[in-house]
Structure 1
Amino acid sequence: MSVRTRRQKAAETATADEKPAPTGNGVARATSAQKGAEAGPRENVYLFWPNIVGYARVVLAVASLYYMPLHPRTCSFLYSISCLLDALDGYLARLFHQSTTFGSVLDMVTDRCTTACLLVFLSSAWPRWSIVFQGLISLDLASHYMHMYATLSMGGAGQSHKKVDSSRSWILHKYYTSRTVLFVFCLFNELFFIGLYLLSFSSPKLSPSLLQPPPNIEPMTAQPGNPAHEPPSSLFASPWSAGALELARANKLDSTLPWIITGVSAPIMAIKQFINVVQMVKASNWLVEGDLATRRAARAEGKLA
């Protein structure tokens, strides 16, 4: 058989294999392409409903940061809506069966970043307490990162960071498995920091130089804290201009409600920080258990003296 004849025969065989051949009962045999079509269309995880809500949370958080220095009402409203949507994305994930690893990480990263940005602002508002806010940022990031890393490395790639066995930590098990408990703690934790943020605009008791410039000292910035807000007359040509009136209206806050918000949410916020410490310690112990198991296995194989 010539080379040309063999090639023609191979081409005819391949063509015949691609055509559906009738089976004994008259049903055509599915090709690999048809089997792929039967498996369903490729899903776009980026456009799942929970993830779209996650993107909206990011936009709202960025907008709240824009208004944060001078417009406490607008900032607090946008920031609060972004936090409340945290409960909606989980509901949509369960409703549409669209729980994904990407969505879980997006949710956690958004939570950590928005809280960290607010605490950074509070550090600038009250420099004397900046080390406390810096410590809270570090604890929040370290605790959640170590917990997620320990869950993925020790519990398996398909393990969710919210699935904590009660034998490992009953407090974390209760915290993550009860959606009500998780929502309440996250809500009041954010409310505490929002209350502090509002107090930075309304409580001369906490910062006497907040609303009035120090005597014989030229104000240098419009940021809350030390130095204090510049008067509208120094920011705008006319103190009666639309910009000056808006600035005065935005900064004129009564401290009663912020004090109530801060006082009511403070105990739950403190417990939330304790849970962060427990989470970090348990994650560290879990990682150390894995290290010890790895070293024992290596020593048994003679790879480690």
Structure 2
Amino acid sequence: MSERKTRRQAALAPEAAGTAEAVDSYAKSSPQGAGDDKSNGNGQAILSSRSGVEFTPHENIFLFWPNIIGYSRIVLAIASLYYMPLHPRTCSILYSISCLLDALDGYAARYFQQSTRFGAVLDMVTDRCTTSCLLVFLSSAFPRWAIVFQGLISVDFASHYMHMYATLAMGGSDTSHKNVDKSRSWVLNLYYTNKVVLFVCCALNELFFIALYLLSFSSPLLSPQLLKPLGETRAAAIQTGAQVNSSVLRQLFTNPYSAGALEMARANKMDSTWPWIMAGVSAPIMALKQFLNVVQLVKASKWLAEGDVKSRREAGLPKKSRKNT
């Protein structure tokens, strides 16, 4: 066995030597010398030439672990929206897991060294969309306060868009939106650089809206319709469910009303004590988060305005008008 292995190594020796000589010759032919050869840490040489081309393994950004976690968040968020009208417990669990995974994708990005701009944008877009969908439901659950929830959605989207655009336009495409200089805003610097502060603010902000969602099913104080008896006619309608004309749709999408009747009855009997406690504890942090959104919007607007002033000066604007002589 060892003799056969020795013969095989002897046969491959000239080929290996030829390859080594070719690599060595390629490296020496470079004006920068053999010292320009690099290693990727896996025993594979990466050759650099005058053209600057490096032979590195292909990476699929879309399959990075942080981005896969981001896709999972989207699936969970969509599932929570499906159960949102009639299944408060199921919806709250799915929505909460989706929000908690927001912290896990950042940890995965640092652990696997897979921080990407696509991942950062995916994370921010997912956060904005999920919160907005919940606020839209709260607008329908509490019509009197719909304008407040609409305002929160607008400020949230506007502040993050303005901040992201200002960072890219003024700081450069390689600058992260979390790199906020203290001289520009110390409170935003603390918010984005301190992971504990960032997690607490985001988590309790979502917790407040989840608490309001649960109170819409359990608190007669906020939802007076819970005090009204269901009635035999309405109960029969819920048990029967909405009729779907297409048999194909009836097979693909099961009727949520018949399945949700029992859940609705349980929700009406839900004790509102814990949702009220959750809302009371998280309300100050929610208010702080909205204040930070306003600060972020104002600071980003001023930063863009400073850039506009500088650009106009460099362009010589405003140009003095010449009077006709």
Provide TM-score, normalisation by structure 2: 0.76
- 8 Å CA contact 1:71–1:251 kept in 2: the answer is no
Spell out, residue by residue over 1:87-136, the C-alpha distance to the aligned partner (whole angstroms, 9 max, x if none). Answer: 00000000011000000000000000000000000000011100000000
Gaps of 5+ in 1: 1-18, 220-229
1:133 paired with 2:149, answer yes
Given residue 179 of structure 1, which amino acid in structure 2 is its aligned partner? K
- 8 Å CA contact 2:217–2:223 kept in 1: the answer is no
1:234 paired with 2:237, answer yes
How big is the alpha-carbon RMSD for the aligned residues of Structure 1 and Structure 2? 2.8
- 8 Å CA contact 2:140–2:146 kept in 1: the answer is yes
**What is aligned with 1:248?**
265
Distance 1:42 1:53, change over 3 A: same
1:285 paired with 2:302, answer yes
Cα deviation for residue 232 of structure 1 reads 3.5
May I ask how many residue pairs the two structures share in their alignment? 267
Cα distance in 2, alignment partners of residues 242 and 184 from structure 1: 36
5 Å matches for 1:104-123?
104-123=120-139
Gaps of 5+ in 2: 1-17, 30-45, 242-257, 321-325
Provide TM-score, normalisation by structure 1: 0.81
Spell out, residue by residue over 1:167-213, the C-alpha distance to the aligned partner (whole angstroms, 9 max, x if none). Answer: 00000000000000000000000000000000000011112124526
Secondary structure of 2:315's counterpart equals helix
Correspondence for 2:172 among 156, 175, 191:
156
Distance 1:296 1:249, change over 3 A: same
Cα distance in 2, alignment partners of residues 286 and 91 from structure 1: 30
**What is aligned with 2:280?**
263
1:147 paired with 2:163, answer yes
Spell out, residue by residue over 1:121-168, the C-alpha distance to the aligned partner (whole angstroms, 9 max, x if none). Answer: 000001110000000000000000000000000000000000000000
Distance 1:246 1:202, change over 3 A: closer
Given residue 111 of structure 2, which amino acid in structure 1 is its aligned partner? L
1:74 paired with 2:77, answer no
Give identity over the alignment, percent.
Answer: 69
Cα distance in 1, alignment partners of residues 259 and 158 from structure 2: 45
**What is aligned with 1:298?**
315
Cα deviation for residue 253 of structure 1 reads 1.6
**What is aligned with 1:190?**
206
Secondary structure of 2:199's counterpart equals helix
- 8 Å CA contact 2:80–2:92 kept in 1: the answer is yes
